[in-house]
């Protein structure tokens, strides 16, 4: 793994805009100066061997996560996850029915010297998908046409939708995002998912989640045409759905209305799963020690809210790196994870976002920060695998 | 034992095959990216399609006969519930009257705030159904609370122990306080509600106009 610089394509800004990148709030470099969110003046280079090892790690982590869900359901450990009690039974049912899942993103610490370790798992509403699937692919084709990339996201998403289609009662699929998300990132990500599903043969309809209707007479969700919604892809986290006014309707609509990602993923997108994994697989090379609500023996640790996102409300203790980020999360408790600082390449720190589609590894996206926490000031940078 | 047999899947395969699997075929054609402005539905060779809906242009599809029947049943049931409740309330009032004597005289000259009551073809005003919260402040509720129930006194509708009434010409969405508007219907205006149906919207997602999304 190496960090290298290169000349950006002369018209890169209009290229990535035409490919859908209209959101990129400016990122920051190590000195705090603005840098483009999509920064193709830098890239990472990997050996195929490294990528093969990472792929194997990701699929292993995925299967460990599924085992962890099974354990949480069997042992009724929902309280550790800060989930409302009325949702426990439906979560278990969603898991036992094997409600279909489509994708997720593991955030890994990797430096090319020792095995990748799991920092967290975005199992429910991962973004940076378009960057990883489309933008960096076309960058590679323009700059290094003979190189490879850890990237079969598009094909695997289409294939996964085809498989999911056989499990659903109807080939109509609604896609929804929150209209209050002001940058457009959620809408673009949702629209990209919608395209992959359409390519797989689904009749897709996109609309804002605020426009979804609940028909109390017929007890069903409807779109703006007042047609029944059979299956809904939502870029809206389950913990928010459960708090929303229609949350109970959503849960009681299962499985007549199928929601993707499925309800059981609310366990995986919750950082309490990190502690469960460490309990089940202590000392595993791809895991860091992690505990619920108390640091135990850890003297250097990262405290993360169970339901935080975008690097908010993170506290780092130890290593002369004590720092904290602000935010609105943490009401439901915290997880303490051993501090294993992101490695430094030049003056930046990359975090690897490794994608899983269905049950197989599907691609890589890299985000870089100057600081220790990969937050919304992180830039997305592409990668390549040169031929041997 | 061959050197490859004991290795975990993925680590011992020939490099060439693996490259094929990880990479995309170089000659592959991507579909057109559909977030350029496209209103009509985009068709794919697979038979799939992409369509968008938004609140200002999408119109409901006509209901099926089965749906109409189900809705009529639902409305009937709501009427029965309301009638039973009114009856129970009337009984209670009678009992109360016996207990507290004369009781409080409520004005009986009701103004029925029905749809189209003032329908004269003039300016059109949207009515929103509101309920007063515990502080006496109005909060917008689904129109069905007003439309599905019998009008009571002074333009109030009673249902489930709460009273509802219309605000005319106000704006805001369900759960918010109405902005502007008046409690008396403007004379000579055509009064409509946005829905008049049993479908409620806005129960998922954000209540505020700008903020963070759910992606991570």
Give B38 to chain A, closest Cα distance, Å.
12
List chain A residues with CB under 8 Å of B21.
152
The predicted pLDDT at position A116 comes to: 97
Q: What residue of B is the nearest CA neighbor of A179?
A: B206
Minimum-distance CB partner of B216 among A127, A222, A224? A127
Interface test with B, best of A217, A225, A268 (most B CBs within 10 A): A217
Residue of A213, A359, A374 to mutate, interface with B, max B Cβ within 10 Å: A213
Q: Which of B46, B70, B214 sits opposite A186 (nearest CB)?
A: B214
**Interchain contact, B48 vs A241, CB within 8 Å:** no
Q: What is the 3-state secondary structure (H, E, C) of chain A?
A: CEEEECCCCCCHHHHHHHCCCCCCCCEECCCCCEECCECCCEEEECCHHHHHHHHHHHHHHHHHHHHHHHHHHHCCCHHHHCCCHHHHHHHHHHHHCCCCCCEEEEEEECCCCCCCEEEEEECCCCCCHHHHHHHHHHHHHHHCCCCECCECHHHHHHHHHHHHHHHCCCCEEEEEECCCECCCHHHHHHHHHHHHHHHCCCEEEEEEHHHCEEECCCCEEECCCCCECCEEEECCCHHHHHHCCCHHHHHHHCCCCEEECCHHHHCCCCCHHHHHHHHHCCCCCCCCCEEECCCCCCCCEEEEECCCCCCCCCEEECCCCCEECCCCCCCCCEEEEECCCCCCECCEEEEEEEEEECCEEEEEEEEEECCCCCCCCCEEECEEECCC
> Are B199 and A213 within 8 A, CB to CB?
yes
**pLDDT tens per residue across all 216 residues of chain B:** 444 444 444 444 444 443 344 444 444 444 444 444 444 567 888 888 888 888 777 878 777 777 777 777 777 777 787 777 778 777 766 554 444 433 333 333 322 222 223 333 345 667 778 887 777 788 887 776 776 555 555 566 666 667 777 777 777 777 778 877 777 766 655 566 665 456 677 788 865 444 556 666
Nearest to A210 among B18, B26, B206 (CB): B206
| Chain B residues lying within 8 Å of A52, measured CB to CB | 10-11, 18
Question: What pLDDT is attached to residue B123?
Answer: 54
Give average pLDDT by consecutive 10-residue segment, chain A, 388 residues: 97 91 78 88 96 96 98 95 94 96 97 96 94 95 95 96 91 91 84 94 94 90 92 94 92 95 96 97 98 94 84 81 72 91 94 97 94 80 94
Q: Report CB contact under 8 Å: A223, B53.
A: yes
Shortest CA gap B23–chain A (Å)? 6
Instruction: With CB atoms and an 8 Å threshold, state whether B203 touches A214.
Output: yes
* Predicted-complex ipTM score: 0.76
pTM above 0.80, yes or no: no
> For residue B83, what pLDDT is reported?
79
Amino acid A187: pLDDT: 87
């Amino acid at each position: 793994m190496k960090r290298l610089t290169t000349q950006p394509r002369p018209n890169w800004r209009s290229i990535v805009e035409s490919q859908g990148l209209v959101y990129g709030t400016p990122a920051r470099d190590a000195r705090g100066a603005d840098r483009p969110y999509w920064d193709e003046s830098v890239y990472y280079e990997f050996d195929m061997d490294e990528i093969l090892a990472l792929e194997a790690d990701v699929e292993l982590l995925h299967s460990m996560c599924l085992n962890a869900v099974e354990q949480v359901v069997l042992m009724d450990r929902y309280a550790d996850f800060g989930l409302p009690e009325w949702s426990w039974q439906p979560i278990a049912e969603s898991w036992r029915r094997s409600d279909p899942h489509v994708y997720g993103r593991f955030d890994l610490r990797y430096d090319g010297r020792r095995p990748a370790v799991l920092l967290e798992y975005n199992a429910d509403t991962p973004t940076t998908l378009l960057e990883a699937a489309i933008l960096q692919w076309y960058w590679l084709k323009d700059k290094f046409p003979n190189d490879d990339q850890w990237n079969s996201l598009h094909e695997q998403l289409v294939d996964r939708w085809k498989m999911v289609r056989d499990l659903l009662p109807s080939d109509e699929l609604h896609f929804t995002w929150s209209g209050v998300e002001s940058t457009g990132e959620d809408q673009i990500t949702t629209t990209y998912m919608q395209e992959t599903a359409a390519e797989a043969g689904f009749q897709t309809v996109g609309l804002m989640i605020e426009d979804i209707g609940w028909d109390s007479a017929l007890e069903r969700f409807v779109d703006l045409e007042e047609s029944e919604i059979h299956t809904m892809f939502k870029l809206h986290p389950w913990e928010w759905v459960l708090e929303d006014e229609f949350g109970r309707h959503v849960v009681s609509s299962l499985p007549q209305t199928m929601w993707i990602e499925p309800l059981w993923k609310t366990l995986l997108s919750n950082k309490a799963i990190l502690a469960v994994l460490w309990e089940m697989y202590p000392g595993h090379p791809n895991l860091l020690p992690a505990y619920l609500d108390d640091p135990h023996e850890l003297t250097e640790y990262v405290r993360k809210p169970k339901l935080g996102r975008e690097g908010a409300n993170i506290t780092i203790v130890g290593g002369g790196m004590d720092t904290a980020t602000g935010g609105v999360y943490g009401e439901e408790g915290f997880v303490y994870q051993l501090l294993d600082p992101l490695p430094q390449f030049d003056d930046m720190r990359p975090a690897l976002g490794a994608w899983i589609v269905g049950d197989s590894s599907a691609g890589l996206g890299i985000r870089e920060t100057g600081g220790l926490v990969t937050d919304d000031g992180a830039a997305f940078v592409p990668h390549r695998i040169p031929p041997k | 034992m061959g050197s490859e047999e004991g290795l975990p899947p993925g680590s011992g395969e020939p490099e060439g095959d693996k490259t094929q699997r990880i990479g995309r075929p170089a000659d592959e054609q991507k579909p057109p990216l559909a977030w350029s402005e496209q209103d009509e539905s985009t068709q794919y060779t697979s038979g799939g399609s992409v369509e968008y809906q938004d609140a200002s242009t999408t119109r409901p599809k006509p209901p099926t006969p089965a749906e109409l029947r189900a809705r009529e049943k639902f409305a009937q049931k709501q009427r029965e519930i309301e009638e039973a409740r009114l009856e129970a309330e009337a009984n209670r009032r009678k009992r109360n009257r016996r207990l507290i004597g004369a009781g409080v005289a409520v004005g009986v000259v009701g103004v029925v705030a029905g749809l189209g009551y003032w329908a004269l073809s003039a300016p059109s005003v949207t009515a929103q159904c509101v309920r007063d919260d515990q502080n006496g402040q109005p909060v917008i509720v689904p129109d069905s609370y007003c439309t599905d129930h019998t009008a009571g006194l002074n333009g109030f509708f009673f249902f489930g122990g709460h009273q509802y009434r219309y605000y005319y010409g106000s704006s805001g969405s369900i759960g918010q306080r109405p902005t502007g508007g008046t409690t008396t219907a403007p004379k000579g205006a055509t009064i409509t509600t946005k829905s008049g149906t049993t479908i409620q919207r806005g129960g998922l997602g954000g209540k505020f106009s700008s903020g963070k999304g759910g992606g991570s």
